[in-house]
């Protein structure tokens, strides 16, 4: 009685697998280099794909996330993309959107059971969790009734903060804590892995609790928020955009000085809004990983073609014995599959090692970098691509081409792809070199920075005592030559952006954005510590720092712009609503709008 066809096929395949393993074992000069090449190629490509998945392809962790939209307004004069609090207050109740939710993210000081910790805090509207359809893991969420200036202060903990600081205590609900010096009651714990709509991870949530003056136009008060909403069933993005455009027109009519013609509505799917700045980088990375996989496959194919030349006699004997094309190709496929599986296993180890380096490097261009991991989707892609590559280089020796011609074709392909990668890497290094050659205007060598949160402490109103004590202690530390304090640092930090004004000229209109000035508060030793040259006048003194008089130092760009053919020293500036400050010095420019953009006008006060 003959064997069943299915059992016969399984038996033949098993024999082919055993034969392939024996052949690879007998030829370590081919199998070992092939596995190493595949491991490096697949590992590098898998790590790159994990990055691309995290920054571009990863779905949002909310139910029906495709209906979520980001609602912002772009203020071109400020280069600001945000939802103004009056718009949040007046854009509710549209036909196309459900409730419009808002939030802002910052840092806060929280008194935990055993220590005071700095935490990431999101202040959210009472409807945000409902819009996102997020349910608490413990207790209740922040509700609309909590989102009022006179409502009792409540807070929700993240899962990580709950476990790290409260020991995963199930009785934490109702416990009192202090955040930035104010008393709050813990009402809930967020589910594990919760992130804000902009993908930032926070440690706790508290209500926005905005007063009515922040929520209406014409009051002169405005807070910068982020907005998110959910499209109503049957409503398209274009319909929602058209309706909100009429709301923006109404805002422009009420506050024409703020909402000028360069202010525009930005209503985008939430996922598209998050990845808008990384799409180009992601596409480039996909091209790079594709080239790496093709080069690795071509290298292995070249090895197998060279080995097949030495097996010509074996193949001729098989043909003479009546072996079909399938019977000849099947062992080659099994050898390739064995190499591919070994390469995938080694590649995953390489990928894990590379991914472990990503959080340490934290490249600025890779947004959402904390989510880089080898999850099931990345693993499936690695296996699929690895097996596809195995199929490709396995069949190369069986192609009806002269082996010399085939090897030449593979070599030419490798050279072309390698040249493409070299050119891409050269352009990247050139851009990095250009950025590296940009003089920031201050010394970066041996410069160490740290941030301190004083909100909710006795130093919140005045930090003079704290700065004096910290400076005295730090200056006794060996290796420190100078200690200084500032509320923001170049090249990107800005404590305040305001319109520039001079006492001998008419005050600008409120919210005029033509001549915005970056304002920082620094102490008397800031310029020395940062290595910023003083060009004219004097620096700040201890008397200035103690508050004896109002003085300011401006950068050269501001001095050249506003005091042409005259000295800026002695001029009174920045008096819009506050006492005028006398300019006592002019310092060299520092980059204050990133390294790519030219220096903006800057005023520095003590």
| 247 inside domain | no
Does a structural domain hold residue 4?
A: no
Compute the mean pLDDT over every residue in the chain, rounded to the nearest whole number: 80
Residues in the chain: 606
**267 assigned to some structural domain:** no
Q: What does the alpha-carbon distance between residue 557 and residue 456 come to, in Å, rounded to a whole number? A: 37
Q: For position 495, what pLDDT does the model report? A: 63
Based on the fold, state whether residues 190 and 114 are members of the same structural domain.
Answer: yes
**One domain for residues 128 and 172:** yes
Contacts with 204 (C-beta within 8 Å, 6 or more apart), sequence order: 108, 110, 119, 120, 121, 122, 155, 156, 157, 158, 161, 179
* Lowest mean pLDDT across 133-147, 233-247, 557-571: 557-571
In a domain, 186, yes or no: yes
User: Does 98 share its domain with 50?
Assistant: no
How many separate domains does the chain show? 3
Same domain, 52 and 92: no
Examine the domain organization and report whether 215 and 96 are in the same domain.
yes
At residue 399, the pLDDT reads 55
Beta strands 516-521 and 602-605 are parallel
- Interval 47-68 mean pLDDT: 88
Q: Report if residue 136 sits inside a domain.
A: yes
Residue 276 has pLDDT above 70, yes or no: yes
Indicate whether 289 and 383 sit together in one domain: yes
Which residues are bridge partners to 371 per DSSP? none
Do residues 350 and 302 share a domain? yes
User: How far is it, in rounded angstroms, from Cα 494 to Cα 487?
Assistant: 8
Mind listing the pLDDT tens digit for each residue in 291-342? Answer: 888 787 777 777 776 666 655 566 666 666 666 666 666 777 777 778 878 8
In angstroms, the CA 538 to CA 517 distance is: 21
Residue 265 CA to residue 81 CA, distance in Å, equals 9
The pLDDT of residue 497 is above 90: no
The answer on 93 and 31 residing in a single domain is no
Residue ending a domain, choose from 233, 259, 292: 233
Neighbours of 539 (CB within 10 A): 19
As a whole number of angstroms, the distance between CA 543 and CA 524 comes to: 9
The residue from 166, 199, 233 where one domain ends is 233
Q: Which sign does the torsion angle of CA 85, 91, 97, 98 carry?
A: positive
Q: What is the mean pLDDT of residues 280-288?
A: 81
In this predicted structure, what is the pLDDT of residue 401?
Answer: 47
3 state SS of 84: strand
Q: Flag whether 430 is in a domain.
A: no
Between CA 560 and CA 216 the distance in angstroms is 39
Instruction: Please identify, among 356, 384, 401, the residue that sits at the C-terminal boundary of a domain.
Output: 401
253 falls within a domain: no
Average pLDDT on 116-129 reads 92
Check whether residue 225 and residue 289 sit in a common domain.
Answer: no
- pLDDT > 90 fraction of the chain, expressed in percent and rounded: 26
Task: Write out the residue range of the structural domain in which residue 96 sits.
Answer: 86-233
Residue 66 lies in a domain: no
Tens digits of per-residue pLDDT, 384-443? 887 777 776 666 555 554 555 655 665 666 666 666 666 666 766 676 666 666 677 787
- Cβ(235)–Cβ(94) below 8 Å: no
User: Taking 80 as the threshold, does the pLDDT of residue 599 lie above it?
Assistant: no
Residues 50, 146, single domain; the answer is no
Looking at the structure, tell me whether residues 28 and 91 fall in a common domain.
Answer: no
Q: Are residues 103 and 213 in the same domain?
A: yes
pLDDT bin (cut points 50, 70, 90) of residue 143 is very high
pLDDT at position 574 over 70:
yes
Mean pLDDT of 99-103: 95
| R_g over Cα of the chain | 32
């Amino acid at each position: 009685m003959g064997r069943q066809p299915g059992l016969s096929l399984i038996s033949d395949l098993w024999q082919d697998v055993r034969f392939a393993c024996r052949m690879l074992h007998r030829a370590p000069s081919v199998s070992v280099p092939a596995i190493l090449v595949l491991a490096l190629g697949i590992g590098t490509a898998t790590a790159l794909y994990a990055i691309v998945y995290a920054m571009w392809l990863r779905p949002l962790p909310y139910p029906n996330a495709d209906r979520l939209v980001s609602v912002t307004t772009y203020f071109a004069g400020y280069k600001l993309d945000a939802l103004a609090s009056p718009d949040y207050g007046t854009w509710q109740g549209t036909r196309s959107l459900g409730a419009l939710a808002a939030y802002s993210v910052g840092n806060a000081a929280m008194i935990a059971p055993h220590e005071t910790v700095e935490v990431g805090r999101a202040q959210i509207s009472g409807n945000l969790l409902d819009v996102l359809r997020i349910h608490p893991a413990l207790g209740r969420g922040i509700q609309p009734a909590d989102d009022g200036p006179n409502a009792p202060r409540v807070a929700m903990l993240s899962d990580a903060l709950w476990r790290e600081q409260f020991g995963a205590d199930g009785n934490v609900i109702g416990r009192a804590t202090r955040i930035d010096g104010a008393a709050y009651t813990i009402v809930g714990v967020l589910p594990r892995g919760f992130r804000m709509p902009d993908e930032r991870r926070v440690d706790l949530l508290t209500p926005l609790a905005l007063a009515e003056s922040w929520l209406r136009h014409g009051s002169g008060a405005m807070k910068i928020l982020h907005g998110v909403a959910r499209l109503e069933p049957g409503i398209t993005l274009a319909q929602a955009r058209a309706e909100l455009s009429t709301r923006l027109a109404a805002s422009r009519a009420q506050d024409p000085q703020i909402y000028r013609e360069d202010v525009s509505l930005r209503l985008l799917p939430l996922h598209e809004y998050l990845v808008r700045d990384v799409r180009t980088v992601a596409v480039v990375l996909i091209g790079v990983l594709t080239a790496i996989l093709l080069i690795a496959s071509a290298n292995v194919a070249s090895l197998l073609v060279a080995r097949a030349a030495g097996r010509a006699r074996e193949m001729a004997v098989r043909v003479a014995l009546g072996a079909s094309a399938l019977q000849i190709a099947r062992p080659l496929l099994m050898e390739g599959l064995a190499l591919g599986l070994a390469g995938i296993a080694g590649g995953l180890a390489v990928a894990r090692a590379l991914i472990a380096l990503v959080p340490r490097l934290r490249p600025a261009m890779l947004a959402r970098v904390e989510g880089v991991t080898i999850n099931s989707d990345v693993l499936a892609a690695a296996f699929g691509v690895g097996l596809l590559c195995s199929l490709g280089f396995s069949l190369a020796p069986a192609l009806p081409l002269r082996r010399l011609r085939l090897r030449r074709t593979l070599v030419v392909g490798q050279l072309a792809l390698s040249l493409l990668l070299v050119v891409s890497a050269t352009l990247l290094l050139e851009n990095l070199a250009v950025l590296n050659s940009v003089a920031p205007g201050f010394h970066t060598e041996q410069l160490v920075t740290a941030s301190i949160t004083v909100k909710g402490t006795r130093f919140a109103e005045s930090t003079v005592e704290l700065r004096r004590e910290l400076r005295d202690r730090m200056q006794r530390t060996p290796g420190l030559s100078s200690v200084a304090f500032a509320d923001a640092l170049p090249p990107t930090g800005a404590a305040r952006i305001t319109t520039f004004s001079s006492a001998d000229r008419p005050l600008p209109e409120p919210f005029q954005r033509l001549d915005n000035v970056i304002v920082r508060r620094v102490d008397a030793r800031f310029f020395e510590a940062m290595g910023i040259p003083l060009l004219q006048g004097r620096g700040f003194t201890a008397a200035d720092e103690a508050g004896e008089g109002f003085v300011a130092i401006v950068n050269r760009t501001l001095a050249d712009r506003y005091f042409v053919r005259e000295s800026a020293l002695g001029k009174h500036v920045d008096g819009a609503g506050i006492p005028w400050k006398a300019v006592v010095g002019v310092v060299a420019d520092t980059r204050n709008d990133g390294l790519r953009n030219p220096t903006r006008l800057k005023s520095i006060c003590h």
